[in-house]
Chain A
Amino acid sequence: MKNLLNRLRGVERDVLESPPDADAPFYVAQADEIEIFRAAWTRRLPVMLKGPTGCGKTRFLEHMAHVLAKPLVTVACHEDLTSSDLVGRFLLEGEETVWQDGPLTRAVKEGAICYLDEIVEARTDTTVVIHPLTDHRRQLPLDKRARIIDAHDDFMLVISYNPGYQTVLKDLKPSTKQRFVGIHFDYPGELIEREIVARESGGLDPDRVERLVAAGRRARKLKDHGLEEATSTRALAYAGELMQAGLPPRTACRAAMIAPVTDDPELIQALEEIVAAHFPESDEETAAVHG
């Protein structure tokens, strides 16, 4: 029941993910983001990850949490997310009422990294509760329980923020933004992106990886000309996976890179043209035969 409710609320990964012993999640650094994050961590400063969708923000954080050996709590924010969803609520258990901590509260208490993904999507009253956590007080007020709790020494708050079209009306207040250390992400450079796609797709051959990444980079040029979200690294990785699963390259690209991002017929044509140029017909046939 509890899990179901949480799922309904979108608190999907409302679990303290203790760092497993395995290798750190695969992440290739793009610039100095690792150093900045480490520095922020040593001072426990709240961090804001900025950047377009699918460029590796979440992966980065998973990687850092692992490297720092800290649990990570992720909350995907959405329109209906209330402050109770973050902080906690009373639940009925038999005749009793039991207070149940929300993900934020648990992270605060236990010293985890709490990642509020797409914070601007949440209601404004929700963002208010994080305020006292972001300054030197490092406190979380639990209004319903009339208590204020001090954050664990290892607690760290991270939010993601994707300035774009859809956020014009829902931008964070400048006063809120100022409380964070900002790390800027963008799509990785060509060589790095190839490495990522090769790995994430589960070993797509270098030739197709190279074409796929080249096509993706071309497609990105159409951003702001009708394409609101550029072709992401994630989309390229998906396309690679689909090819690995035996789909012909053009079909894979259409499914992973074009269909999800636009319905605009001219853009679709232009994107297909780009894909087709990198994966010419003859390859398609070869793939069909082999796949």
Chain B
Amino acid sequence: MAEADDLVAIEEVLQQLERVSFVAHRDTRAALPAIREFGAVQARFWIETARDLFLHDREAGKSFLRHSARLAENSGVVEPWTGQAREFLQWVNSHYALEGFLAQVDRVWRAWGEVGEREWFAIGLRWCGRSLADARAYFETPFDRLDGGQGVSGLRSLIEPAERLFDERGLTLDCYLAGAPMARNMVGDAGLLSWARRGADLLVAGRSRGEAYFRMESEEGMRLLLEALPGYRARLHGRFLQLLLLAWLDAEIPLADGDWKPGEGRPMLETDGRRLYLPAVFDSRDEAIVAVQHGAAHLAFDSYAREHIESLFARAGMEHPPLDDHSRITWRPLFASFGEHMFRFQILFDLAEDLRVNGRLHFRIPGFLARLLQLAQRRELPKEPAGSYYRFALETYVGLREELRPLRGAGPSAEAGRAPHAPPGTLDHRLRGLLKPEATVLDAWEVAQELFADPAFPEIGIDQRKDAYLPGLSLNAARPVYPQRLRDGDLSDFRDVGDAYEEHRFVREKQEEAPEQAPEGAQKDPDADIQMPREETSGSGGRIGVGIPAPAQVAKRGVAWQPRSGGIPYPEWDYREQRMISDWVNLNERVLDEQAPGRAREILAEHAATLKRLTRGLEMQRPMRMAPLRRQMDGDELDTEAVIDFIADKRAGLSPKAFIYRRRAVRHRDTAVLVLADMSTSIMARHPGGEGKIVERVRSGLMLFAEAIDRIGDPCAISGFASKQRDQVHYYWLKDFTEPLDDAVRGRIAGISGRLASRMGAAIRHSVRAMQRVSSQHRLLLILSDGRPADYDDGGDARYLHEDTRMAMKEALDAGIHPFCITLDPSGEEYLPAIFGPGHYTIIDHVDELPRRLPEIYLRLRR
């Protein structure tokens, strides 16, 4: 009876649908049989829901019909999800959310059961109440991405922060979900709320900035997360790693941040031939050391030598390697002929080339192989197909170690004995040739081709590719590279030859472009690394250490160039003529118009801990600590030695002065200091060895310096300089000797920025003149620089301004003022000894250390 009613009702609905829509009618009929199996009651409920949805919103109805048969079959029920779908009737335009819901509700049901599914739905429904776009994002995100493997409780803890922040800050779920699942993997449930809150704050500051944070596309977004990642954080140990390279390879290879992100497989080091790009974390310290040493070995042993690479391309039938617009070689064409077997070949090629350079590195760094082997043996063998490659590589290195042992003769063979469980090593005969010192990357290519023909190496796809590499080793062609000259192991003159001016311009242009991309569309190319030159997104470019290379000044035809005058004239030394040219430079004292009081407060807040530590250190040097003063006119106690001298002198008939007391008192050191900062354009660049721009560190450094010196009470002044040809040398007083350290000074320091070039000699002369007015016994001129002196009109003759600076330095000494140069330029070693003399300069490798080091260096100098 009741069933008959239901059947009639179903028929009526069908007729009704037939009248309104052909499609609806057809689809309903198609799905109906699967639903009918659950009985007439359910079928009636279902068909009425379908009709209501359809009449409410065509798209919603169509979705519902499309998924129904599958849902019924997979979940074994009809009523629950049908009822839930009905709920969407409450909103107009909810069909996207509904579609997301229907597309996966059966899987949720099966995974989490009825209770779990109900909660999943309830959460989504609440979002419908907040915003349909968010509800859509919720239902469209695969449920097993939301739960982080924790089931419903994982889902709950993921969504909770979003609900809270929606209410508090209007943070949309859409935005949040872009990064939250990944963020949770890194910071855990507990860290999620603060991660999201930070992002919400950024959204308020700027929409695109906040979104980039949540999509983990901005440094800001990544930083916090990476800090929470387990593993060895290479970024924090940059200086240590750099010191190792310096010691082992004599090389000052800049280390920069790579753009590896969690979820992109094993973190690996990359290089562009000029820098080593480190991922945020390595598994272990040992792996980081191996990676950096190995990466440097590629540079030292000519993996990227222009000559060899050109030959490689020549063999592949290309006359010249294709270059990108930075003149970097792009690799793709080289591998192209291997088609779909490209990755297989790439791994084998890297394996051969890595073996070659490691074989040579072993002689430079005792213990390198031992460490590599230890890491490789400790790691679990990866799954096939990567496992085959991994095993082969491992056995190769075990074999290599055996092989090399006799070669080292009686000398230090700095390797640990073979671990007992290690497989016996076999150095495949095909690889043997790579160990000859004269082998090159060309030989590696040949060997790789031979191995490539060997079916023992299985096909492998891009997803398993990284697993085929031993720890510390990495894709050698991950980035386009700047071809290198042949070095044959000698990196002592390796320099970061980037061009500050070029790169700076590049960075600036980029900023102006306002990177408003639509990132959803821009699918990340899974093989971007060798398909196309990677975009220099790091922007970490400014080579510090060069001034502005400029052609000699060419006046426009017919217009005589009129040098400006009206400032303070200074002479300059011309080494070509071996004489001083008087009144050659025109220097103007200028007021810095930028003031940044807010930033000043930020800097002080950021470095509060350092300042506190410094202050504590200062107590040691400050008037607080009493030092015994000997041979005083008066005092608390007798200076025995002086008394004896006095009496003896007296008896001997002399009339000595009664300097016979000792007194505990402040030993007055009486040192005055002027810090002269290079304010040329190059400080606006990013420093490869640190985060952010150089200028930020310079500001902080000067600020801490000012604060620290203020606390000890030494007379102190701070100035900066910049220049544009000889007639426009600008000298900026940030604080002069008489000025107290107040907020105006702080604001000025925080407001500095870089401009123009660096004519250092004139600035030194002007500083000397200012210091001559100070009466302290010791007068120290600290020059803070980031590169060679250079100016637009030096006609490319770097030596000219070098020589002049050297001369200015001598004049300072003659005037009783001691110059000391602190540079951020890693290549300072090349020219600073000549200009300032040994012991009169120091190089700060890591720009992040400047704020701390600057006051420290001063304190040490005045000791």
A interface list, Cβ under 8 A from B: 5, 8-9, 80, 82, 84, 89-92, 96-99, 144, 163-169, 171, 174, 207, 210-211, 214, 218-219, 221-222, 224-226, 266-267, 269-270, 273-274, 276-282
**CB-CB nearest 8 A-B residue pairs:** A90-B648, A270-B243, A97-B651, A277-B367, A164-B839, A266-B240, A97-B652, A211-B412
Which of the residues B240, B416, B654, B839 comes within 8 Å of A270, measured between beta carbons?
B240
Residue B834 interfacial (CB < 8 Å): no
B interface list, Cβ under 8 A from A: 237, 239-240, 243-244, 246-248, 250, 289, 365-368, 370, 410-412, 414-417, 630-631, 641, 644-645, 647-649, 651-652, 654, 671, 778, 780, 813, 818, 820, 829, 837-840, 842-843, 845, 860-863
Chain A's nearest CB lies how many Å from the CB of B860? 7
**Complex: chain B residue closest to A276, CB-CB:** B367
Contact (Cβ within 8 A) A270 B366:
no
Contact (Cβ within 8 A) B645 A163:
no
Chain B residues whose C-beta falls within 8 Å of the C-beta of A97 in the assembled complex: 647-649, 651-652
Chain B residues whose C-beta falls within 8 Å of the C-beta of A279 in the assembled complex: 414
Chain B's nearest CB lies how many Å from the CB of A168? 5
Contact (Cβ within 8 A) B414 A90:
no
Contact (Cβ within 8 A) A222 B818:
no
From known contacts A165-B860, A269-B240, A270-B244, infer whether A280 and B648 are also in contact, taking CB-CB under 8 Å. no
Contact (Cβ within 8 A) A169 B780:
yes
Contact (Cβ within 8 A) B645 A277:
no
Chain B's nearest CB lies how many Å from the CB of A120? 11
Chain B residues whose C-beta falls within 8 Å of the C-beta of A224 in the assembled complex: 829, 842-843
Residue of A169, A267, A276, A278 with most partner-chain B CB within 10 A = A169
Instruction: Give the complex CA separation of A225 and B641 in angstroms.
Output: 43
Chain A's nearest CB lies how many Å from the CB of B715? 15
Chain A residues whose C-beta falls within 8 Å of the C-beta of B654 in the assembled complex: 90, 144
Which of the residues B250, B671, B839 comes within 8 Å of A167, measured between beta carbons?
B839
Contact (Cβ within 8 A) B818 A278:
no
A-B contact pairs, 23 of them (CB 8 A): A5-B641, A90-B649, A91-B644, A97-B652, A98-B648, A144-B654, A163-B837, A163-B838, A164-B838, A165-B861, A166-B860, A207-B410, A219-B247, A221-B250, A224-B843, A266-B240, A269-B243, A274-B248, A277-B366, A277-B368, A279-B414, A280-B415, A282-B417
Which of the residues B246, B651, B671, B862 comes within 8 Å of A222, measured between beta carbons?
B246
Chain B residues whose C-beta falls within 8 Å of the C-beta of A90 in the assembled complex: 645, 648-649, 651-652, 654
Contact (Cβ within 8 A) B648 A169:
no
Contact (Cβ within 8 A) A278 B647:
no
Chain B residues whose C-beta falls within 8 Å of the C-beta of A5 in the assembled complex: 641
Contact (Cβ within 8 A) B246 A221:
yes
Contact (Cβ within 8 A) B861 A280:
no
Chain B residues whose C-beta falls within 8 Å of the C-beta of A169 in the assembled complex: 671, 778, 780, 818, 861-862
Contact (Cβ within 8 A) B820 A273:
no
Chain B's nearest CB lies how many Å from the CB of A231? 11
**Complex: chain B residue closest to A212, CB-CB:** B412
Instruction: Give the complex CA separation of A221 and B525 in angstroms.
Output: 43
**Complex: chain A residue closest to B828, CB-CB:** A224
Contact (Cβ within 8 A) B648 A165:
no
Instruction: Give the complex CA separation of A136 and B828 in angstroms.
Output: 42
Contact (Cβ within 8 A) A92 B647:
yes
**Complex: chain B residue closest to A124, CB-CB:** B777
Chain A's nearest CB lies how many Å from the CB of B835? 14
Which of the residues A92, A166, A225 comes within 8 Å of B246, measured between beta carbons?
A225
Instruction: Give the complex CA separation of A19 and B250 in angstroms.
Output: 44
**Complex: chain B residue closest to A281, CB-CB:** B416
Chain B residues whose C-beta falls within 8 Å of the C-beta of A96 in the assembled complex: 651
Instruction: Give the complex CA separation of A99 and B365 in angstroms.
Output: 62
Instruction: Give the complex CA separation of A225 and B244 in angstroms.
Output: 11
Contact (Cβ within 8 A) A214 B861:
no
**Complex: chain A residue closest to B236, CB-CB:** A266
**Complex: chain B residue closest to A143, CB-CB:** B654
Instruction: Give the complex CA separation of A98 and B813 in angstroms.
Output: 43
Contact (Cβ within 8 A) A273 B244:
yes
Chain A residues whose C-beta falls within 8 Å of the C-beta of B649 in the assembled complex: 89-90, 97, 144
Chain A's nearest CB lies how many Å from the CB of B54? 69
Chain B residues whose C-beta falls within 8 Å of the C-beta of A174 in the assembled complex: 813
Instruction: Give the complex CA separation of A214 and B649 in angstroms.
Output: 57
Contact (Cβ within 8 A) B414 A278:
yes
Instruction: Give the complex CA separation of A171 and B780 in angstroms.
Output: 12
Q: 5 more A-B contacts (CB under 8 A) besides A91-B644, A277-B414? A: A92-B648, A96-B651, A266-B239, A277-B368, A280-B415
Chain B residues whose C-beta falls within 8 Å of the C-beta of A222 in the assembled complex: 243, 246-247
Instruction: Give the complex CA separation of A167 and B366 in angstroms.
Output: 37
Chain A's nearest CB lies how many Å from the CB of B290? 12
Which of the residues A165, A167, A277 comes within 8 Å of B842, measured between beta carbons?
A165
Instruction: Give the complex CA separation of A211 and B652 in angstroms.
Output: 61
Chain B residues whose C-beta falls within 8 Å of the C-beta of A92 in the assembled complex: 644, 647-648, 651
Chain A residues whose C-beta falls within 8 Å of the C-beta of B838 in the assembled complex: 163-164
Instruction: Give the complex CA separation of A7 and B188 in angstroms.
Output: 65
Chain A's nearest CB lies how many Å from the CB of B332? 37
Contact (Cβ within 8 A) B370 A280:
yes
Chain B's nearest CB lies how many Å from the CB of A258? 13
Instruction: Give the complex CA separation of A221 and B248 in angstroms.
Output: 8
Instruction: Give the complex CA separation of A34 and B645 in angstroms.
Output: 41
Instruction: Give the complex CA separation of A104 and B247 in angstroms.
Output: 43
Chain A residues whose C-beta falls within 8 Å of the C-beta of B651 in the assembled complex: 90, 92, 96-97
From known contacts A144-B654, A166-B863, A168-B780, infer whether A210 and B412 are also in contact, taking CB-CB under 8 Å. yes
Chain A's nearest CB lies how many Å from the CB of B215? 34
Chain A residues whose C-beta falls within 8 Å of the C-beta of B843 in the assembled complex: 224-225
Chain A residues whose C-beta falls within 8 Å of the C-beta of B862 in the assembled complex: 169
Chain A residues whose C-beta falls within 8 Å of the C-beta of B839 in the assembled complex: 163-165, 167-168
Instruction: Give the complex CA separation of A282 and B412 in angstroms.
Output: 13
Chain B's nearest CB lies how many Å from the CB of A178? 14
Instruction: Give the complex CA separation of A82 and B642 in angstroms.
Output: 11
Which of the residues A165, A171, A221, A280 comes within 8 Å of B414, measured between beta carbons?
A280
Instruction: Give the complex CA separation of A205 and B863 in angstroms.
Output: 42
**Complex: chain A residue closest to B778, CB-CB:** A169
Chain A's nearest CB lies how many Å from the CB of B239? 5
Instruction: Give the complex CA separation of A145 and B270 in angstroms.
Output: 75
Instruction: Give the complex CA separation of A221 and B818 in angstroms.
Output: 27
Contact (Cβ within 8 A) B289 A273:
yes
From known contacts A165-B860, A280-B414, A282-B416, infer whether A89 and B648 are also in contact, taking CB-CB under 8 Å. yes
Residue of A168, A210, A221 with most partner-chain B CB within 10 A = A168
Instruction: Give the complex CA separation of A276 and B840 in angstroms.
Output: 32
Contact (Cβ within 8 A) A210 B860:
no
Contact (Cβ within 8 A) A207 B412:
yes
Which of the residues A144, A168, A210, A270 comes within 8 Å of B247, measured between beta carbons?
A270
Contact (Cβ within 8 A) B248 A218:
yes
Chain B's nearest CB lies how many Å from the CB of A44? 29
Residue of A89, A163, A207, A277 with most partner-chain B CB within 10 A = A277
Chain A's nearest CB lies how many Å from the CB of B654? 6
Instruction: Give the complex CA separation of A122 and B862 in angstroms.
Output: 15
**Complex: chain B residue closest to A227, CB-CB:** B243
Contact (Cβ within 8 A) A99 B243:
no
Chain B's nearest CB lies how many Å from the CB of A175? 11
Contact (Cβ within 8 A) B247 A99:
no
Contact (Cβ within 8 A) B247 A278:
no
Chain A's nearest CB lies how many Å from the CB of B445? 31
Chain B's nearest CB lies how many Å from the CB of A166? 7
Contact (Cβ within 8 A) A168 B818:
yes
Contact (Cβ within 8 A) A171 B652:
no
Chain A's nearest CB lies how many Å from the CB of B767? 16
Which of the residues B246, B410, B631, B840 comes within 8 Å of A168, measured between beta carbons?
B840
Chain A's nearest CB lies how many Å from the CB of B825? 13
From known contacts A166-B863, A168-B818, A224-B829, infer whether A278 and B652 are also in contact, taking CB-CB under 8 Å. no
**Complex: chain A residue closest to B410, CB-CB:** A207
Chain A's nearest CB lies how many Å from the CB of B774? 14
Chain A's nearest CB lies how many Å from the CB of B300? 14
Instruction: Give the complex CA separation of A127 and B863 in angstroms.
Output: 20
